[in-house]
Amino acid sequence: MLERTRAIVADIFEVPLEQVLPESSPDTIETWDSLRHLNLVLALEQEFGIQFSPEEIEQLLSVELIVALLAEKIVLVESASA
Amino acid sequence: MSPSSNLRKEIDQHLAAQNREAALSGLRRFWSSESGPAAAGYVISCCEKLRPFLRPTPYKVAILRSFTLEPVTPLLRAAAFLAGIDITVQLSGFDTYVQQMLDPDSDLYAFQPHAVILAVQTRDLFPELWDTYTDLSRDEQRASLNNIGTLAEWVRIFRSRSAASLIIHNFEKPATPSAGLLDAQGGDSQSALIEELNQRLRGLAADLPGVHILDYEALASRSGRDNWHDERKWLTMRMPIAADKLSAMAQEWLRFLHPLCGRIGKVLVTDLDNTLWGGVIGEDGMDGIKLGREYPGAFHHALQRVLLDLHNRGILLAIASKNNEADAMQAIEGHPEMLLRERHFAARQIHWESKVDSLRRIAEELNVGLDSLVFLDDNPVERENVRLALPEVTVIDLPPDSMGYAKAVRNCPFFERLSSSEEDRKRGILYAEQRQRKDLEQTVTSVEDYYYSLNQRVELAKVTKQTLDRAAQLLKKTNQFNLTTRRHSEADIARFAADPDWDVYLARVTDRFGDNGITGVCITHRVGAVCEIDTFLLSCRVIGRTVETAILHFIAEHNRAKGVSQLDGWFLPTPKNQPAESFYASHKFIEKSRTDSGTLWSIDLRESSINCPPWIQLSMEQNAEKSECAYA
């Protein structure tokens, strides 16, 4: 999940994959502004087939945090469908 | 590993090895299979690397909006980049569209966009026809339509301050009307009033130059209203359009930007076997090929219908087919179900040589650049060959199943036009006459004999409201005999026409073979005793027949009569306008100065004059002087 997230972050913010680390955030990636944050949200929703709430969207502020939240949500989705 | 990630690897390798045609072709395939926000970011990064090779047309678009459209921006940029347009987007703040249009110092005007998109919703501008509809009386409901007057006022103010093209989203109907089933019964209803609103909006656009309507209502219904909208995204982030429909929004905008920035196809070059009909004529014979109103010939019949529509709209059709010409022509002329016949094709290359050569020859024969050609072929190998050898040619991506062919051609944005002038409709016929003219050229002995034999008449007239769209179209499309290649918009030209220091003259050329229509434009600007030729162009149909000399003679004499003593003009070279390079030198102009962008030429009218060629009959429309106030 980390790798898929890193790849999306690299595409959305148009930076090389090597530069995207678990701790990458709006502070370390210059193009990660509020405008593109929305694009990131849509790309993650599309890739993982989930929906974020407005509160969650505000928390998605580093690669690590995204991966942690995704792990949580995807477990929920899977247990709900099981 | 998914097919698209394999494709990405392939593209990255091509980019690293500088195989630019292959990388571009891969990117186009990638984008047609995946068009989400992440894919857009990837495509944009790659296109940036290909920029010196792509040489995209720069274009600035401002989007005035009342809802979240941020995620559409990268989708638009990626799709446009692959079509050769480099778009810079300015997205206005939420709900600031009114201030942006009214305030002359706003960001909008400072940005100097080429095009402006006004994306507002029914619920923002006409809440009476949306949320509060059932609260109101019949009269109040109907009266709310008059608020369109306010919108009209904003648009007029915008028009007076900017020459940019304006694209207005029209108003959508609610998925479920407030009155339920009653809405569809009798008289005024919510849906009917919104239809009327859109009718009025259409009238508004028709009255103002450079204002166009985007049929947002039809766009939403094409996808299905329930799929188009995402209520959750609307309520949480003010984004009414579902995430997977954002690329359809971008594509719809792009359809407008193609004709606005001149990225258009003028000729559709089609294959025959398994494209215009099912099967192979050389093997299956006329009785064996599949073509007709019933399955399986119906798909090919439907494709022919689309091509005939394009022909009727002035797009030229041509054939590039590997076949015995006699077999192919027998089917075209003899098959009872053919909609397209020999007369519909302006050029044909039917033989066993490569399609790349055929495309080159067609471009040459029809006097258009390779970038004016759009190639249609069911065979992916032929398509890829053309993509790699002739990256300027637009190649339509066809689905594997022939059922999808007609739709793929209908959706090709290169055939979109924003004005349908009479000229366009007649163009197909004009080219047939041109062929006869070429034949004549070969039978006369001296070139002067040829000129005399043409019996040419050049009629000059000032631009009028009726001819404005044709003038704008010529400015947009003419690449070869074009001295400055300035792409003034329809609104710019209207402004010049209204200014007493500017003249916009159009030339209509007729000859013994028929009417070539309006085929020349000259825009001049007088400052005191000096007149500068801002734009001088001729359609390729009338190049090489001394028409330009006749027009220049008229311009010189017309200005001399107005007290002008010096006529100036720039030649600004482009990769394509070589045919116009020696124009000024061959008319006794003297080089005055030279910059990186071009050469300024000048002629002293007190000492020299330009004679009209004796074989051309020159006339000026009677009311040319009086029509000065056509725009007042």
Q: Are residues B117 and B221 in the same domain?
A: yes
From chain B, pick out residues whose CB is under 8 angstroms from the CB of A11: 37-42, 45
CATH number at residue B387: 3.40.50.1000
Q: Are residues B257 and B272 in the same domain?
A: no
Cβ–Cβ below 8 Å for B37 and A43: yes
C-beta separation of B527 from B541 below 8 A: no
Q: Are residues B211 and B271 in the same domain?
A: no
C-alpha B360/C-alpha B350 separation (Å) is 13
More confidently predicted of B521 and B576: B521
Most confident of B25-34, B158-167, B355-364: B355-364
**Average pLDDT, integer, range B440-460:** 74
Q: How many angstroms from the chain centroid is the CA of residue B415? A: 7
Which among B36, B44, B71 is the nearest to A38, CB-wise?
A: B71
> Helix and strand tally (H, E) in chain A?
4, 0
Say yes or no: A70 contacts chain B, CB-CB below 8 A.
no
CATH number at residue B154: 3.40.50.1110
Query: Could you give the number of structural domains in chain B?
Result: 3
Q: Are residues B486 and B540 in the same domain?
A: yes
Task: Output the pLDDT for position B364.
Answer: 94
CATH number at residue B551: 3.40.630.30
From chain A, pick out residues whose CB is under 8 angstroms from the CB of B242: none
B506 inside domain: yes
C-alpha B352/C-alpha B1 separation (Å) is 40
**Average pLDDT, integer, range B548-560:** 94
Q: Are residues B277 and B152 in the same domain?
A: no
Residue B426 has pLDDT above 80, yes or no: no
Beta bridge partners of B533: B524, B569
Least confidently predicted of A31-35, B406-410, B467-471: A31-35
**Residue carrying structure tokens 């941020």:** B70
**Average pLDDT, integer, range B361-378:** 95
C-alpha B241/C-alpha B65 separation (Å) is 13
Cβ–Cβ below 8 Å for B37 and A53: no
Residue B431 has pLDDT above 70, yes or no: no
Q: Are residues B198 and B343 in the same domain?
A: no
From chain A, pick out residues whose CB is under 8 angstroms from the CB of B44: 14
Which residue type occupies A37? Answer: H
B137 inside domain: yes
Cα distances (Å, whole numbers) of residue B418 to B205, B259, B398, B494, B574: 12, 7, 25, 16, 25
Task: Output the pLDDT for position B625.
Answer: 45
Cβ–Cβ below 8 Å for A46 and B36: yes
Task: Output the pLDDT for position B236.
Answer: 87
Task: Output the pLDDT for position B630.
Answer: 36
Q: Alpha-carbon Rg of chain A, whole angstroms?
A: 12
Q: Are residues B240 and B274 in the same domain?
A: no
Say yes or no: A50 contacts chain B, CB-CB below 8 A.
no
Which of B261, B285, B311 is the endpoint of a domain? B261
C-alpha B530/C-alpha B135 separation (Å) is 66
Which of B367, B391, B415 is the endpoint of a domain? B415
B50 inside domain: no
Cβ–Cβ below 8 Å for B71 and A42: yes
Other CB atoms closer than 10 Å to residue B117's CB: what's the count? 25
Q: Are residues B99 and B151 in the same domain?
A: yes
B27 inside domain: no
Task: Output the pLDDT for position B627.
Answer: 39
DSSP state of B173: P
B206 band by pLDDT with thresholds 50, 70 and 90: confident
Q: Are residues B79 and B174 in the same domain?
A: yes
Beta bridge partners of B2: none
Residue B425 has pLDDT above 70, yes or no: no
Locate the chain A residue with the closest alpha carbon to B45: A14
B13 inside domain: no
B466 inside domain: yes
Task: Output the pLDDT for position B420.
Answer: 65
Which of B238, B261, B284 is the endpoint of a domain? B261
- Rounded to the nearest 5°, which phi and psi values hold at B480? -85, -70
Q: What is the pLDDT along chain A (82 residues), one digit of tens a residue?
A: 899 999 999 999 999 999 999 999 999 999 998 888 999 999 999 999 999 998 899 889 999 999 999 999 887 666 665 5
Cα distances (Å, whole numbers) of residue B197 to A56, B204, B217, B299: 40, 11, 12, 37
β pairing state of B481-482 and B530-538: antiparallel
Say yes or no: A46 contacts chain B, CB-CB below 8 A.
yes
CA angle B372–B276–B355, rounded 5-degree value? 50
From chain A, pick out residues whose CB is under 8 angstroms from the CB of B249: none
From chain A, pick out residues whose CB is under 8 angstroms from the CB of B37: 11-12, 39-40, 42-43, 46
Cβ–Cβ below 8 Å for A39 and B41: yes
Judge residue A67's burial from the number of C-beta atoms within 10 Å of its C-beta, 0-12 exposed, 13-18 middle, 19 or more buried. middle
Cβ–Cβ below 8 Å for A14 and B44: yes
From chain A, pick out residues whose CB is under 8 angstroms from the CB of B91: 35
**Average pLDDT, integer, range B372-398:** 93
- pTM of this prediction exceeds 0.80: no
Q: Which of B1, B45, B89 to mutate to test the interface with A (most CBs of A within 10 A)?
A: B45
Helix (H, G, I), strand (E, B) or coil at B559: helix
B23 inside domain: no
Cβ–Cβ below 8 Å for A14 and B41: yes
Task: Name the residue range of residue B297's domain.
Answer: 267-415
Which residue type occupies B142? Answer: R
Q: Are residues B187 and B290 in the same domain?
A: no
Beta bridge partners of B212: B167
Say yes or no: A20 contacts chain B, CB-CB below 8 A.
no
Domains contained in chain A, CATH given: 2-81 (1.10.1200.10)
**Residue carrying structure tokens 């995807």:** A74
From chain B, pick out residues whose CB is under 8 angstroms from the CB of A48: none
Q: Which of B11, B63, B237 to mutate to test the interface with A (most CBs of A within 10 A)?
A: B237
Cis ω on the peptide bond leading into residue B296 (within 30° of 0)?
Answer: yes
C-alpha B68/C-alpha B229 separation (Å) is 13
Which residue type occupies B257? Answer: L
State the DSSP H helix or E strand holding residue A9, giving kind and residue range, or none if neither: helix A2-13
Q: Are residues B398 and B470 in the same domain?
A: no
Q: Are residues B167 and B72 in the same domain?
A: yes
What is the per-residue pLDDT across B605-614, written as a single tens digit (0 to 9) for each? 998 889 999 9
Residue B624 has pLDDT above 60, yes or no: no
Which among A8, A51, A54 is the nearest to B38, CB-wise?
A: A8
Which among A13, A45, A54 is the nearest to B243, CB-wise?
A: A45
